[in-house]
Structure formats: structure tokens, C-alpha cells
Amino acid sequence: MPADRFDTVIAGGAVVSHRGVEVMDLGLRDGRIAALAGPGALKDAAPAQGVIDARGLHVLPGVIDSHVHFREPGGEATEDFGSGSLGALLGGVTAVFDMPNTAPAVLDRESLAAKLALVGRHAWTDYALYVGADGGNSHLLADLETAPGVCGTKVFMGSSTSSLVISDPGDLEGIFAAGARIVSLHAEDEARILARQHIAEAAGDVRVHGEWRDVESAVAATRLAIDTARRLGRRIHILHVSTAEEIALIAANRDIVTCEVLPQHLILAAPDCYEAHGTLVQQNPPIREARHRAALWAAVADGIVDVIGSDHGPHRLADKAGPYPNRHSGMPGTQTLLPILLDFVAQGRLSLLQVVDLVCAGPARVFGIAGKGRIAVGHDADFTLVDLGARRRIDNADIASRVGWTVWHGREVAGWPMATVIRGRLAMRDGEALGGPQGRPVRFHGALAPEATSGATSGAAA
């Protein structure tokens, strides 16, 4: 193919890149970005069927949801990688990172290879997997973290929808001493949770969820994680930060700690959220009072927050109903992640550049993703095309997740994902998935290339 010809041209969109926001054309070749040019400069440089008219739309780097639970293997009655990644795609997400608390859990080479082969058959987006730590596999982690398609190690310091709980500080030290890539943590203190469980059982009311799994349970675990990371020189990433006190700890240790917040912690506050939604908003760590929400927003404004993820944790409505605390914690969210953030832009709470940093550049920076997260020549041709002027009502009927519900049902939002392009291929347009599941493993700096994996895994991922 001549140097001035492209497989696809995205024409006339307002491109959000290192140059700012600028109307331009993008030339795509062999799944990567080959040229950035002025508007109209590339209109005749691709076959007619390869021109994507982006006039009136903003072109973002492909959105990365770095925190999902797609439940496969073992939980397919609730969700599988096909339904979960389809929802992500329809919501404008081009890559997802899936958690290891499946059945079986991802703890060794065999379970990792089996899961990669399984999910690669029906992934609509690109993907990476976390490996789990259970206190007995520390000797394997340095090898596992560099395997193709692995984004890092996940540690559950407090029990949630998982049997992978690290409550012994000695086990935590062993995990941090193994390997070099980032460790992501669910930071709640298991001993404190168990000691306070009587509060939830006596009340039988979800309104005490934040009293049971209280602020100190999160702060104690985050403090222990930071102290251990400091002593052992390991980078850590605190997931779903929910308290003002944790933000202060993280801000004082930015050289070794990055963090994530969730949309639900930026929108909801106790006790009103429990009055309105009951156990639908039961999650770990809990939705907390308004002072914590305000602190999270301040942390976003100050650049302390690196990533916003969905923590997509689907459960069937029947599993969310009934007596508390014997209900599942978690809520679906990958399909609504970007619409909620675009609505924050419309409200003036975020700028579009902040959104790009939090769900594109931020994940790439934190996890060392190769070739994604920004619009630059040589990077993967991943894009999310959005209409900032579109107004939509989020509806359960449109949710692709197998559970079929969202806590944002009925919420009006301004701004909507209109198309996704993954490695140069138009994968979604106007709410319709195109071309079938063709997701591949995400590549990482310092990790083996996906092509280096076994025949079964690489074939499934193609």
C-alpha cells in the first residue's frame, strides 16, 4: 500500500489529543494510527467504505475500563465475557481489565491460560486479566505478571465477592516482595470487618453498611498497604477509594501510590442512596456520607485521582433482594461509565480533557499499557466517538449485561458514545455492535507480547 493510502480515514472530527482539541483527519493503517492531518487532507486517501464521517463528533482515544468483573469462568449465569464486553463496547469502551475472583480463580499458569483461551472466543473489546494472590502463590507472581494479557496482580485485603482474602500482613509482604509490576488492592481490613459484622446482622438493614464496613476499615488497610509498599519499594494502586482520609494518605505518598474512584462514589451519598435504592447500591467499600464524596471530587480536581473505573460487579436482581446483610455486593457499570462521565462534562464538573486523562491516558500510565491511551502516530487505532450534544435516558432495556439492570435507570444524561473503533476496525456505531467479537489481549511495556503465548491462547485471542 502506498505511504499516502490508508485502510480507514476518520474525517472531520474534533480530535482530543496531545495537541488539544482540534478538528482533523486521522489516517489508519494496519490497525494503527498512521497520520494526523488537517480537516479534509485525507478524505481521498482511503476507499469510500473506509471513511468514517466524524463531523460534529469528538474523537477520544479508546476508553479503557480497568476494573470489571465479568464472572467467567464459573459465574456465567450472572455474566460472561461476551455479555459483559458487549455492554462495554456499546458504552464506548474499547478495552477492559477483568478481575481474577472467578471459579476457578486465576492463580497460576494453568488457570490463566484457560481463562485467556475462554474469554478470547467472545470478547467484543480488547482485554487484559488480573492474576490473583491467595497467600500461597507468591512464588508464582513474578512469572505470572509478565505473561501475555496480564495487567498486574490483584489483592483483596477485605472479603467481598471472593474467597481471595489476604488478611495476614506477612502474606501481604510476600506478595509485594514478588515481582515488579503494579499491585492493585481492594483495601478494607478483614479483621475489622469480621469484628464488626454483628452490627450488620443485628440491624438487618442496608443503611448500616457503611457503619459495618466503616471508614477505619478502609483507612487501616490503605495505611498498611502504603507502609508495606514503602518498605519493599513496590508500586501499588488503590482501587475504589471511598474516604476522605484515604485521599490524604494517598496524596502524601504519590511516588508509590496511584488510585481509582468510581462514578457511584462521585454521585451517591449515604443515607439517601440507601433510602432510594436499598441493596441495589450495596457494594464494598460502601457508598459513604457527603463529606467523602466532596473529598473525592476535590481529589479529582487536584489530580490525585489517576483513574475512574466502573467496578462492573453484576448480580441478578434476585441476588440483590432479600434480607441484609446476606445479599451480594456490587452493581453493573461498564456500559454506563462513559455516559456518566460525559454528563459530568455537561454539568461543568469535569472537562473533556480530564475525562480523557481518567479513562484513557490514566490507565495507560498506571498500568504501563503499550500503544493505547492516546492519539499519536504508531499507537493502536482505538477511538471512542462521542456526541457531546446528544441527550439520552439510561434504560434497563438497553443494558447488554446479562443481569439487565442499572442503578442509573431513568437518569437523563448529556453526551453519548456514538461509535467505537478498535485497532482500526469500526466495532460499534449508533448503538449497534458490528462484525462480531474480535477482541485481543492488551499489550504492556515490560511484558511478553501476546504472540508469545501458546497456540491455544493466541488463536483464541485473534
| DSSP code per residue over 337-354 | HHHHHHHHHHHTSS-HHH
b vs e for 365-376, b when ≥16 Cβ sit within 10 Å of the residue's Cβ?
ebbbbbbbbbbe
Distance CA 205, CA 283 (A): 14
Max CA pair span of the chain: 72
Please give the positions annotated as active site.
311
User: Measuring CA to CA, which residue among 28, 406, 326, 329 is closest to residue 162?
Assistant: 329
Model pLDDT, residue 4: 80
Whole-structure pTM value: 0.95
The tens-digit pLDDT sequence of the chain (462 residues) is 345 899 999 999 999 999 999 999 999 999 999 999 999 999 899 998 899 999 999 999 999 999 999 999 999 999 999 999 999 999 999 999 999 999 999 999 999 999 999 999 999 999 999 999 999 999 999 999 999 999 999 999 988 766 789 999 999 999 999 999 999 999 999 999 999 999 999 999 999 999 999 999 999 999 999 999 999 999 999 999 999 999 999 999 999 999 999 999 999 999 999 999 999 999 999 999 999 999 999 999 999 999 999 999 999 999 999 899 988 999 999 999 999 999 999 999 999 999 999 999 999 999 999 999 999 999 999 999 999 999 999 999 999 999 999 999 999 999 999 999 999 999 999 999 999 999 999 999 976 655 433 333 322 222
Of 112, 103, 111, 174, residue with least CA distance to 137: 174
**What integer pLDDT is reported at residue 3 of this predicted model?**
54
The predicted structure's pLDDT at residue 162 = 64
pLDDT value at position 452?
A: 38
The pLDDT score that the predictor gives to residue 141 is 97
Domains and CATH numbers, the chain: 62-367 (3.20.20.140)
Position 210 scores a pLDDT of: 97
Q: What single letter denotes the amino acid at residue 328?
A: H
